[in-house]
Structure 1
Amino acid sequence: MKTALTLTPLFLAIAATIPPLAHAADAPAADGFVEGSSLTINTRNYYMNRDRRDTHTDDSKEWGQGLLGIFESGYTQGTVGFGLDAHAMLGLKLDGGGGTDGSSILPYGSGNGKAPGSFSTGGGTLKMRALDTELKAGDLFLNNPVIAGGMTRMLPETFRGVSLTNHSLDGWMLEGGQASFAKLYNQSGHGRIGTSYGVLPKGQDSQHMTWAGVAWSGLPGLTSNLYAAELKDVWNQYYYDLDYTYALNDLVSLNPGLHFYHTQDTGHALLGDIDNNTYSLHFTVGVGNHSVTAAYQRVNGNTPFDYIAQGDSVYLDNSQQYSDFNGPNERSWKLKYAYDFAGLGVPGLTSAVSYISGKTDLTKVDSNSRGYSAWYSADGKNAKHWERDIDLKYVIQGGKAKDLSVRLQWATNRGSNGYSAVDRDVDEYRVIVDYPINVF
C-alpha cells in the first residue's frame, strides 16, 4: 500500500533550497564570527494624531521615542558556519497615549485607559549557513508578501519561528519558514500569530503560519514573486506579482505592474468561509524627477482581503496611510504624483500626493459570518469612501547628522454611512524622525 505525500509549503521550500553540488566551489567565504559582526541602533521619534471628525470617540494623540538595537554576527569558519543575531527594543511614552484606540504607537489594553511610561522587548536568533543556504531560528524580522513585520510604526513587529533562504541561482531567491508567535508593534510580549481583520472564536487560535516563496530578478527592470502560505485552520493564501520598468530614454520611463492574492479557508476554518481574489494594477510614467501613477484595485469576495495582524504583508497598490481599501467587494482607483527635489538642487527631499476613491456593496457580507460579520451593513449597498495623502520626507545627505530623516504625513479619509464610523471621517497626522547609527 502506497503512502500519500503531502507537499506542504514548508516542505517545498526546504526541498527547493538544497543547493546543487555544482555551487560548492562558489560558496561565499566566511568573514568570521567576530570579523563579520555589526551593531546598528535606530532611534525613531514618532508622533501620531488621529482626529475623528464624526464620532464621540476621543481623538488619539500619541508621541513616543523608540530605540532599536540590532547585533548581527558573522559566521564561523568552515563548510557550515554558525552565527548569532540579537536585538533589543525600547519604547518611551513622551505624551498622551490613552492607548484605547489601537493606533500601534503605544501599548493599550492595560485596563486603566493609560499606556505605561515605557515598554521593551528583546530576542535572539541562531543561524547557520551552508554554501548559499541560510537557516535561522528564533526571533525573526520578516518582510515578504505573505508575512511582513514592516517599519511603519515606532517599533517593528517580529515573529518567532524558523526561516530558510537560498541564493544558489543568479537572479533567484528561494525562501520558506514557519512562525507560531508574533510580537506586535506596540507590545512587549509575544502572542499567537493572528489576523488583522478577522475575529477568531474565543479560546481558539491558529497554531502557526507556514510559507514558501521565490523571488526572481533575472532580467534588467523585470521582477516577479510567487508565494504560498498556510495560516493553520484559517486560510491558504497565494500571491503573485510582476513588475517591469522600461526606460524609453534617459528622461522617460514606464512602469506597469500587477499584484494578485488568492485566499481560501482551510482546515477547521476558524474565520468561516473565505473565497477571496484581490488584485491591483498600476502604471507609472516617470519624466525626470516627476512621476505620475494610476492604479486600480479590486476585491472579489464577500470577506475583506485579510493579512497577518499589524503587519505590512499587504502588497497592494492602494494600501495607503490610513485605509487599505480592502473591504469586501471593494473597487478603488488611485492617482499619485511624486517629485524628487534633487531636480531643484535639494537632494534628499522627496514628496508625494495621492488621491484614492473606493466603493463597495457591504450588504453581500454574511451577517452571521464566523469571523467577518462586523463588515455587514444593511445600508452599505453603495458604500463609498476616499482618502487624500500628502507625504514629505527629507534625508540629510552629509555631515555629522548624515542619514537623519524627517517625514511628515497627512491623511484625510471621508466616507458614507455604509462604512463603520472609524472608517468614515478621519484626519491623521504623523511626524517621524529617524536617526540610524552604525556602531560597528
Structure 2
Amino acid sequence: MRVMKWSMIALAVAAGTSQMAVASSQDESKGFVEDSKLNVKMRNLYFSRDYRNAETAANRANRVRHDQREWGQGFIGTFESGFTQGTVGVGVDAIGLLGLKLDSGRGYSGTGLFPTGSDRRSQDDYSKGGAAVKFRISDTVLKVGQQFTALPVFATDDSRLLPETAEGALITSNEIKGLTLHAGRFTALNAQAETNHDSLNLKSANVLGGTYLITDGLSTSLYYSKVEDYWRKYYGNVNWSVPLSDKQGLVFDFNIYDTKSDGRGIQRAEKDGTTKLDNRAFSLSGAYNIGAHTFTLAYQRVTGDGDYGYGVDGGGTVFLANSVARSDFNAEDEKSWQARYDLNFAEYGIPGLSFMTRYVRGTGANTATSDNGKEWERDIDVKYVLQEGPAKDLSFRVRQATYRSSDGVYYGSGSLDELRLIVEYPLSIL
C-alpha cells in the first residue's frame, strides 16, 4: 500500500520551469565528470506487523507466526554523470543496492524487507544494480536502462528497505516553459525484496503524458499507459494552491484513474472467473494551512467493475489521496474519507521536527466475501531531521499504523498493527 505524495507533482512542475532559461540545459553542460554526482543513502529499518489473532492452522503448518518483525540495513547508491559537451550530450547513470539482515527468525519473516526462501527464512543479504545510458539535446533527455520512476501511471515503490527498479527507456522534455512531457516504454520491473530479473513479470508498459503549470498556483496533468496482458489507464490531476496571507493558504488536489482490462487481461479474467476491470477511481482533497498547522479532508471513490489495479506497473502507481500506510481503500464500489493533521515544529523553535496523524474510513466495498465491506485506518508519523553539524540531514522516523476491518474481508482477520522505525542518512560523495 503506497502513499500518494502530492509534492511529486509540484516537483515535476518545478523541474520543468527551473530549466527554462535563455540557454538550454545542454548549452550549460560542464562535462561528463564535472557535473557528476555520487550519493549513498543509508537506511536502517525495523518493521513489525501484528495480525492480532491466534495462529491459524495454515500458519502453524508453515511455521509462520501471526506477528512478523524484521530489522535490516540498506544501502542505496546512485551515480549520475554529467553530460558531454556539444549538441548531443551523453552520460551514464548507475544504481547499486545492498540489503543486510540484522534480525529475523523463521516464522517472523514476510514483511517484504528481504527475499524469503522455501524454508520461510529471510536471506542474510541481497544486492542488485544496473546502469542506464542517457542522451540530452537542448532540454530533452532520453534515458535507457535501469532507473527509478515517479510517473502517476508507472511509479517504482520505495516503502521498504530497498526500492523497486525499472528497466526501459524514458524521454523527459522541458522545452516549453511550464510544460514537462514524458514518453517511455518499460520491459522489466524488479521488486523491492527480489534479486531475479523482472521479478514482477512485466512484459511491457508504454506510457505517455505530461504536467503543465497554468499559473503559479494551478497545474494539471494527463497521462496514458498500456500494460501488456493487463490493462490500459488514463490519469488526470488538477492541483490548485490559493494563498490567503503570508501564513495561510488552501490547496485543492483532484486525481482520477480510468482503468480497463486489455488483451490477455480480459482472457485471464474470463478463464479465472474474475472481474474484468472497467472502473474509475478518483479522490478530491482540500488542505488548509495556518502557520505550523495543516488540516486536510479527502474523499475517494471507486466506481465500475473491479478494484483499482496496480503493481505490475509499479508499486507506487496509486496517486490517490486515501492510499495510505497500510490500505489503499481501492476496492470495487468503495467510498472513503480522510481527516488529517500535520504539525511543523519549526514554528515553535524546533526546525526539522514534524508530526502527522490521520484517520481514513471506507465503506461499501464489494469483495469476495461481502458486498458492503468496511475498513478503517489510523496512522501516526513523527520525523526529525538534523539541521546542522557533521551529521546534518540524518533523520529519525517513527511510523505507526492501526488497521481494522469489522467484517474481516481484508487481511484475513481484519486486524493489523504495524510499526516502522527508520533511520536514514544521505551521504554525498561527489
Give the equivalent residue in structure 2 for 1:207: 203
Distance 1:427 1:265 in 2: 33
Query: Hey, what does 2:197 align to over in structure 1?
Result: 190
Q: 1:36 to 1:42 in 2, by over 3 A?
A: same
Matched, 1:107 2:97: no
Q: 1:408 aligns to what SS in structure 2?
A: strand
- Cα deviation, 1:192-251, whole Å, max 9, x if unaligned, reads 645xxxxxxxxxxx5211101101124112222110000012100010011111111112
Distance 2:401 2:103 in 1: 21
Deviation of 1:175 (Å): 0.6
SS of the residue 1:342 aligns to: helix
Does residue 389 of the first structure (1) align with residue 385 of the second (2)? no
Q: 1:132 aligns with which of 122, 125, 139?
A: 139
- Partner of residue 311, structure 1: 315
Match of 1:178 among 170, 185, 205: 185
Deviation at 1:25? 7.1
Structure 1 residue identity aligned to 2:83: Y
Please tell me the residue identity of whatever aligns with 1:32. Answer: G
Of 237, 246, 249, 2:233 maps to 237
> Could you tell me how far apart the structure 1 residues matched to 2:187 and 2:181 are?
21
Q: Distance in 1 between the 2:222 and 2:24 partners?
A: 29
- Are the counterparts in 1 of residues 191 and 200 from structure 2 also a CA contact under 8 Å? no
- Once the two structures are superposed, residues 20-39 of structure 1 have per-residue CA deviations (whole angstroms, 9 ceiling, x without a partner) of xxx99785322101111110
Match of 2:362 in 1: 358
Listed one character per residue, the Cα deviations across residues 148-180 of structure 1 (whole Å, up to 9, x for unaligned) are 113221111001111111100011100111111
Q: 1:99 to 1:308 in 2, by over 3 A?
A: farther
The answer to whether the Cα contact below 8 Å between 1:252 and 1:287 also exists between their aligned partners in 2 is yes
The one-letter code of the counterpart of 2:165 is: T
Q: What's the CA shift for 1:81?
A: 1.1
Q: Could you tell me which residue of structure 1 aligns to residue 176 of structure 2?
A: 169
Q: Work out which of the residue numbers 298, 302, 327 in structure 1 matches 2:305.
A: 302
Structure 2 partner of 1:200:
none
Count of residue correspondences:
393
Superposition TM-score, scaled by structure 1 size: 0.86
Superimposed CA distance per residue, residues 266-317 of structure 1 (whole angstroms, 9 cap, x where no aligned partner): 1222552210100000011111110110000001133111112461111000
Distance 1:298 1:183, change over 3 A: same
**Alpha-carbon distance in 2 for matches of 1:257, 1:54:** 38
Q: 1:284 aligns with which of 263, 282, 287?
A: 287
Could you give the per-residue CA deviations for residues 12-56 of structure 1, whole angstroms, max 9, x where no partner exists? xxxxxxxxxxx9978532210111111001000011100111352
The percent of aligned pairs where both chains have the same amino acid is: 38
The verdict on how the C-alpha distance between 1:97 and 1:250 changes in structure 2, with shifts beyond 3 A counting, is farther
Which residue of structure 2 aligns with residue 265 of structure 1?
Answer: 261
Whether 1:122 and 2:129 are equivalent positions in the alignment is yes
**Which range moved further: 52-61 or 172-181?**
52-61
Match of 2:415 in 1: 425
Change (3 A) 1:177 1:26: closer
Note if contact 1:262-1:278 (Cα within 8 Å) is conserved in structure 2.
Answer: yes
Are the structure 2 counterparts of residues 157 and 98 from structure 1 closer, same or farther at C-alpha, using a change threshold of 3 Å?
Answer: farther
Name structure 1 gaps, 5 residues minimum: 1-22, 195-205, 363-374
Does residue 62 (structure 1) correspond to residue 52 (structure 2)? The answer is no
Name the amino acid aligned to 2:354.
T
Match in the other structure for 1:143: 150
**CA spacing shift, 1:53–1:299, aligned 2, 3 Å:** same
CA distance, structure 1, for counterparts of residue 146 and residue 362 of structure 2: 37
Cα distance between partner residues in 2 of 1:169 and 1:327: 39
Runs in 1 of length 4+ with deviation above 6 angstroms?
Answer: 23-26
Over aligned residues, Cα RMSD in angstroms?
Answer: 1.9
Q: Which runs of 5+ in 2 are unaligned?
A: 1-21, 60-64, 270-275
Are 2:404 and 1:414 aligned? yes
2:343 is aligned with 1:339: yes
User: In the alignment, what sits opposite 2:38?
Assistant: 39
Aligned to 1:92: 100
Deviation readout 1:348-401 (Å, 9 max, x if unpaired): 000111001001242xxxxxxxxxxxx411xx1222111000000000000001
Say which of 74, 77, 88 aligns to 1:80. 88
What letter corresponds to residue 113 of structure 1 in structure 2? R
CA shift for structure 1 position 104:
2.0
Query: Could you state the TM-score of these two structures normalised by the residue count of structure 2?
Result: 0.88
